[in-house]
A and B are shown apart, each in its own frame.
Chain A
Amino acid sequence: MSSDLNEKQLIQKAKMGDEKSFESLILGCQSKAYNLAIRYLKNEEDAMDALQESFIKIFRHLNSFKEDSRFDTWVYRIVVNTCNDILRKNSSRKTTDSIFRTEDDKETVLEIPDSSGAPEEVYDKKEKSEHIMSCMDKLSQDQREIIILRDIQGFSYDEISEILKCSVGTVKSRINRSRLKLREILMEQNL
């Protein structure tokens, strides 16, 4: 309750142009927003660009934010839209920049930190996660997006519905179809 009150006060101050309040506001969702961007764009530089662009948009249009909705969900929606815009632009350029960095003609996977469990187990889990992530590239953008939001970022169905501006029913069916499709791709890969 008090954190909500604090958030509202910060929003009010930020709307008046208080930069510090704005920074405090976005600090709470910065890490998740960045992770969202890096999963979408698979590149640190692009992710930072997307995040910066999103935060500037938020700062510029803060007055249009309706305070009856959640601030962080609004932020993530803007980040998702910005990432999709960048992906659309990049797709026309057929960029090869990805989570897979090319080094001496050999693709290496960007480090995904995982500190849980025994070393062997961790390595195994990391291998598997990276394999799933690479298979996700074979999904459609919509399917990839919903897997990122639900499985990687852990957003609830309601939050996803708010971020993507679609019904919870649509979210449910999209999650299930996307997971089944990903399993199908993984099975094809393992054959």
Chain B
Amino acid sequence: MECNEIRELLSLYIDQMLDDHEQKEIEKHLSACEACNQEYQDLNEIHLLLSGMDPVPVPEAFELRLKQALQEEKKRTSGYGGPIKSLFGSKRYRMLASAAAVFAVGVLTLGVYQDVLGDFADKLGFIDRDGIEHAAPRDAEADLYGISNDEAGSDDSMNNQPNQLEDQPVQDQAQRNKNSEVQEMKLYQAQIDSDGAASSGQKNAPLKKEAAGLTAPEVASDNGAAADGAPSSTTENSDSNGAAGSAPAGGSDTAGLENIKEKELSFGSLAQDEVRAKSKADQSGNSCSRSLTSSGVERNTAAVHFYMGLIEERLEGFDYQVLESGYAPTGEWNFKIFIFRGKDGNTYNEEIRVIGKDGKIKIICSNEITEL
């Protein structure tokens, strides 16, 4: 063996980590080579001196210190203050807090929206108020069974609603007197029924078609049905309403339909809405504008529900939060969604956008999210 090779093995020789053959080779070399032998002697002395040092005793104070520290640690992890502290310091808490903040903003936004457009919540569901409850479902049933034709064919019905609205005292509406409202709705429905019964069946066919076009999205919006048809029928509806809005009240079948629509919507809304609609109509002299306002809200609800349904299907298994939704003049519905966790369990914390158009949704995200 060369000196260089011996140098490499000296520590292993000292630590007795070599096999017998290598050991003998080194011993042979060391007895012959003065320089290598000196190096070995030095290294061995260092090793012996360092390994011969007595251990330093652990200070007595340490035992007590450790006991106290362990007790504190135990208290921290299982005691009263522990979990709270860890929860507040954790990522999960921060995520929950941000989700709660988003939810709070959502609730506030809805509150503001409600103030601007009237009792939006009441328009969304006809469930809470007995008299109103039947309005939209009735539309659906009427549509299904073809009984809306009679109502639609009634010319008298066009004038009924404004009169009815005028009969309702403003004070009562402001106080939201439920009983009188219910009574009013019942009366109103009775009137429609009687009008429908009295009217002829001449206009059945065309009116049915148009009435169906008007009522379908609203039914879809509240019952969550007719998913595929919802966006397209809303567009149709919008056009139809637009035309009706420009036409003078009464006189034509289309105008008649609008009034019926208006009536139907007023069934699904609160008396307060009707007062608002009435005051608007009084100002403009065009009762159809009320119908536009109301149906706009209904349409929006339908589209949001529809696209939310698609989004829910698409994001099944994801941990996400819908941050906001909005409608663009281009006919697109935009949804901002925050993805906390993917299907694969990975944390993303990414904001994505979903665009809903023509009954389909498109997902836009800057970073790749598995299975999205």
Give me the interface of A with B, judged by CB distance under 8 Å: 17, 19, 22-23, 30-32, 34-35, 38, 44, 48, 51-52, 55-56, 59-60, 112-116, 125, 128-129, 132-133, 147, 150-152, 154, 157, 172, 175-176, 179-180, 182-183, 186-187
| A56, A115, A172: the one within 8 Å of B11 (CB) | A172
Are A176 and B74 closer than 8 Å at their CB atoms? no
Q: Select the stretch in B61-69, B235-243, B253-261, B343-351 that faces chain A.
A: B61-69
- Is the CB of B51 closer than 8 A to any CB of chain A? yes
Does B141 touch A at the CB level, under 8 Å?
no
Q: How close is B40's CB to chain A, nearest CB, in angstroms?
A: 10
Considering the chains assembled together, what is the distance between the CA atoms of A55 and B17 in angstroms? 33
Q: Which residues on the B side are within 8 Å of A150 (C-beta)?
A: 15
Judge if B10 is at the interface, Cβ distance under 8 Å: yes
A164 to B50 Cα, complex, angstroms: 20
Q: Tally A-B pairs: CB < 8 A.
A: 104
Chain B facing A: main interface SS = helix
B residues 37-58 near A (Cβ < 8 Å) are 39, 42-43, 45-47, 49-58
Interchain CB contact under 8 A, A52 and B66: yes
The answer on a CB contact under 8 Å between B11 and A125 is: no
B73 at interface, CB cutoff 8 A: yes
- B6-17 contact mask (Cβ, 8 Å, vs A): 1 or 0: 011111100101
Binding site for A on B (CB under 8 A): 7-12, 15, 17, 39, 42-43, 45-47, 49-59, 61-62, 65-67, 69-71, 73-74, 77-78
Contact of A176 among B12, B62, B66 (CB under 8 A): B12
Distance in angstroms between the alpha carbons of A133 and B8 in the assembled complex: 23
Complex partner residue of B58 from A30, A157, A179, CB under 8 angstroms? A30
B52 touches A180 (CB 8 A): no
Contacts of A176 in B (CB 8 A): 8-12
Give Cα distance in the complex from A7 to B15, angstroms. Answer: 29
Please pick, from B9, B17, B53, B78, the residue contacting A157 in the complex, using a CB distance under 8 A.
B17
**Do A60 and B77 touch across chains, with their CB atoms under 8 A apart?**
yes
A151 and B51 form a contact (CB under 8 A): yes
CB distance from B338 to the nearest CB of A (A): 32
Knowing A116-B52, A129-B50, A182-B46 are in contact, say whether A56-B69 is a contact too (CB < 8 A): yes
Contact of A183 among B15, B43, B59 (CB under 8 A): B43
Closest-CB distance, B75 to chain A (whole angstroms): 11
Known: A179-B47, A180-B7, A183-B46. 15 other contacts (CB 8 A): A19-B70, A23-B66, A34-B58, A38-B56, A48-B59, A51-B66, A52-B62, A56-B73, A114-B52, A114-B54, A129-B53, A152-B53, A175-B11, A183-B39, A183-B42
Is the pair A112, B49 in contact by a Cβ cutoff of 8 Å?
A: no
B10 and A48: CB pair below 8 A? no
Min CB–CB distance B294 → chain A (angstroms): 61
> Complex: how many Å from CA A17 to CA B315?
41
Chain A residues near B71 (CB, 8 Å)? 19
Please determine whether B54 and A157 come into contact, CB atoms closer than 8 angstroms: no
Q: From known contacts A34-B58, A152-B51, infer whether A132 and B69 are also in contact, taking CB-CB under 8 Å.
A: no
Question: From A27, which residue of chain B is reached at the shortest CB distance?
Answer: B63
* A172 to B14 alpha-carbon distance, docked (Å): 12
In the bound assembly, the distance between CA atoms of A90 and B77 in angstroms comes to: 29
CB-based contact B51/A154 at 8 Å: yes
Given A55-B66, A186-B46, answer yes or no on A31-B74 (Cβ-Cβ < 8 Å).
no
Contact (Cβ within 8 A) B50 A147? yes
Expressed in whole angstroms, the minimum distance between the Cβ of B51 and any Cβ of chain A is 5
- From B8, B47, B53, contact of A114 by CB (8 A): B53
Q: Which residue of A lies closest to B77 (CB)?
A: A60
Give bound CA distance, A67 to B43, whole Å.
37
How far is it, in angstroms, between the C-alpha of A55 and the C-alpha of B39 when the chains are bound?
A: 41
**What residues on B are CB-neighbors of A35 within 8 Å?**
55-56
User: Which single member of A113, A172, A175, A187 contacts B56 (CB below 8 Å)?
Assistant: A113
- Asked if B47 and A151 make an inter-chain contact with CB atoms under 8 angstroms apart, the answer reads yes
Residues from chain B with Cβ under 8 Å of A23 in the complex: 66-67, 70
| Docked complex Cα distance between A162 and B49 (Å) | 25
Q: Which of B46, B51, B73 contacts A60 (CB under 8 A)? A: B73
B53 touches A172 (CB 8 A): no
Q: How far is the CA of A132 from the CA of B78 in the complex (A)?
A: 48
| CA distance in complex: A51, B17 (Å) | 31
Kindly identify which residue among B49, B59, B74 contacts A19, using a CB–CB cutoff of 8 Å.
B74
